[in-house]
Structure 1
Amino acid sequence: MALVYLRELNPKTKFAIWKIEESAEELLGKLQLDDAEKLKLQQMSKGKRTLHWMATRVLLRYLLQTDQYIHCPSDNNGKPYLPDYPYKLSLTHSFEYAGVMLSTQGECGIDLEIVKNKVVRIKNKFLKDEELAFINPDPEIEILQLYACWCAKEAVYKLQGNKGVSFLEDMTIRPFTYKPQGVMYLDFTKDGISTTLEVYYEQFQNYMLGYAVE
C-alpha cells in the first residue's frame, strides 16, 4: 500500500489517498477487528468492496498514528464516526484508491471518482437547469466539470450525514469556471434551513476529488 497524496487543509483538517496494492489477506494482517467487524467482512461480497473497506481502515490507522484497535462504527444513517477520538471522519474509495479525511474543525466529507463518460448521460439527474447553464460545452472540459460537481455534492452529502437528501433538489452549485484545481460554493437546503459551503475540487491523475469541511 502506497501513500500517494497527503494534504493538510489547515491545522485542524487533513486527508490522504492511498493506492491499494495488497491482497485482502495482507490488508487484514494490518488490522485489529472486533467480532462485529469480522462479521461485516464475512457478509461482504469478495473483491473490490472488501479491499476498499479494509484499505480505508488501514489508512485511518496510518493517519491516527496508532497500532491500537480503532473503534469506527457507523450511525443509523451509515455515517462513520470515531467515538474514541476528537476527529470527524469521512471515507471514500474508487477502483484502486482509498481515501480518508479527518477534521477537528467540524463535519467533513470527501469523495473520489474515476472520470468516465457516464456522467454526461446522468447530468440532468443531479444538476438543475441553472447549474447546467454554466457547464463548459467543450466535451473534454464538460466531463471534468461535471465530475467536479458530482464529487462536490457527494462530499456535502457525506458531510451532512442524513439519508433522504437529494443532489438535485437540496443542493445548488453556484456558477464557477472549471480549473484543474479550484473551489466552488454550494447552497444546501434541508428542512427549510439553508447553508452555503465551500467545496474544494481537484484532478488527481484520471480521478476527480471533492472535499468540504464545516
Structure 2
Amino acid sequence: MAIVLHKIIDTDTEFAIWKIEEPAELLYSKLQLDQSEKEVYETLSKGKRELHWLSSRVLLRTLINTPDFIKTGLDEHHKPYLVNFPHHFSLSHSFDYAAVMISKSKKVGIDIELVKDKILRIADKFLTPEELSFIDPKQTVKHLYACWAAKEALYKLFGKKGVSLKDDILLQPFTFDVNGTIGASILNNNCNTDFEISYLQFDGYMIAHVCSENT
C-alpha cells in the first residue's frame, strides 16, 4: 500500500490517494480502534468493503501523522468528524483506491470514481436537463463522471440531510479537460456560498475535491 498521489491545496489543506495492495490483517494492524469502531468493523462484509474501510482510515492516520488515538464521532446529520483533532476530513474509495482529504481550517469533500460506461444509464438521475445540455458528446462518459464526482464531493462537504444531487446541487457549464474546475452552488438550506470544485483524471478514475470556509 502506498500513496500514489498527494496534493497540497494550502498550508492547512491536502489530499492523498492510496492504492490498496495489502491484506486486511496488515491494514488492521496499523490502526487504533475503540470498542465501538471494532463493533462496526465486525459488521463489514469481507472483501472490498472491508479493505475500503480499513485503508481509508489508515490513510487518514498517515495524513494527520500522529501516533495518538484518533477518535471519530457523528454530528446530528450523521456526518463524521474528529473528536480530538482540529481537522475537517472527507473519505472516499472506489475499487483499488482510497482517498482522504483533510484541512485544519476548511470544510472539505472528496470523491473518487472508477470511470465506466454504466454512468450513461443513470445520467438523468443526478443531472438536470440544463446540465446534460453542456456534456461534450465526444467525451460523454468522462464528462459525466466529472459532474458526478463533483456533486458527490460537494455533498460530502455540505454534510447536511435532505440534499439531492440532482435538485439541490447545480453545476455551471464547463468544458471537459483532463483536469479543471467546476463552478457550483447549493440551492437549499439557505446556503448562499458559491463553490469551485476541482477535478482530475487519474489511472482510469475521476477525482473531485472541494474546500470552503463558508457553508
Q: TM-score range by the shorter chain?
A: over 0.9
Do the aligned residues in 1 keep the contact of 2:117 with 2:141 (CA within 8 Å)? Answer: yes
Equivalence for 2:143 = 145
Do the aligned residues in 2 keep the contact of 1:56 with 1:92 (CA within 8 Å)? Answer: yes
User: How many Å separate the matches in 2 of 1:193 and 1:100?
Assistant: 25
- Report the secondary structure of 2:163's partner residue: coil
Equivalence for 1:182 = 180
Matched, 1:109 2:114: no
Do the aligned residues in 1 keep the contact of 2:111 with 2:208 (CA within 8 Å)? Answer: yes
Change (3 A) 1:191 1:68: closer
Task: Supply the RMSD in Å over aligned alpha carbons.
Answer: 1.1
- Report the secondary structure of 2:183's partner residue: strand
Do the aligned residues in 1 keep the contact of 2:157 with 2:211 (CA within 8 Å)? Answer: yes
Displacement of 1:45 in angstroms is 1.3
Do the aligned residues in 1 keep the contact of 2:70 with 2:85 (CA within 8 Å)? Answer: no
Q: Note the residue ranges of structure 2 that are not aligned, 5 or more in a row.
A: none
AA matched with 1:89: F
- Report the secondary structure of 1:32's partner residue: coil
User: How many Å separate the matches in 2 of 1:35 and 1:18?
Assistant: 26
- Report the secondary structure of 1:51's partner residue: helix
Equivalence for 1:74 = 74
Displacement of 1:193 in angstroms is 3.8
AA matched with 1:108: V
Equivalence for 2:120 = 120
AA matched with 1:125: K
AA matched with 2:122: I
Identity %: 48
User: What does the per-residue CA deviation read over 1:173-199, in whole Å, with 9 as the maximum and x for residues that have no partner?
Assistant: 111100100001011111344331000
Equivalence for 1:98 = 98
Equivalence for 1:31 = 31
- Report the secondary structure of 1:62's partner residue: helix
Displacement of 1:164 in angstroms is 1.8
User: How many Å separate the matches in 2 of 1:75 and 1:130?
Assistant: 34
User: How many Å separate the matches in 2 of 1:124 and 1:36?
Assistant: 39
Displacement of 1:78 in angstroms is 3.0
User: How many Å separate the matches in 2 of 1:148 and 1:131?
Assistant: 12
Displacement of 1:70 in angstroms is 0.9
AA matched with 2:117: N
Normalised TM-score (structure 2): 0.95
For residues 184-199 of structure 1, the aligned pairs below 5 Å read: 184-199=182-197
AA matched with 2:38: K
User: What does the per-residue CA deviation read over 1:149-170, in whole Å, with 9 as the maximum and x for residues that have no partner?
Assistant: 0000000100010122101110
For residues 162-173 of structure 1, the aligned pairs below 5 Å read: 162-173=160-171
User: How many Å separate the matches in 1 of 2:164 and 2:109?
Assistant: 16
Residues paired across the two proteins, number? 212
User: How many Å separate the matches in 2 of 1:195 and 1:78?
Assistant: 22
Q: Note the residue ranges of structure 1 that are not aligned, 5 or more in a row.
A: none
Normalised TM-score (structure 1): 0.96
Equivalence for 1:159 = 157
Equivalence for 2:200 = 202
AA matched with 2:127: L
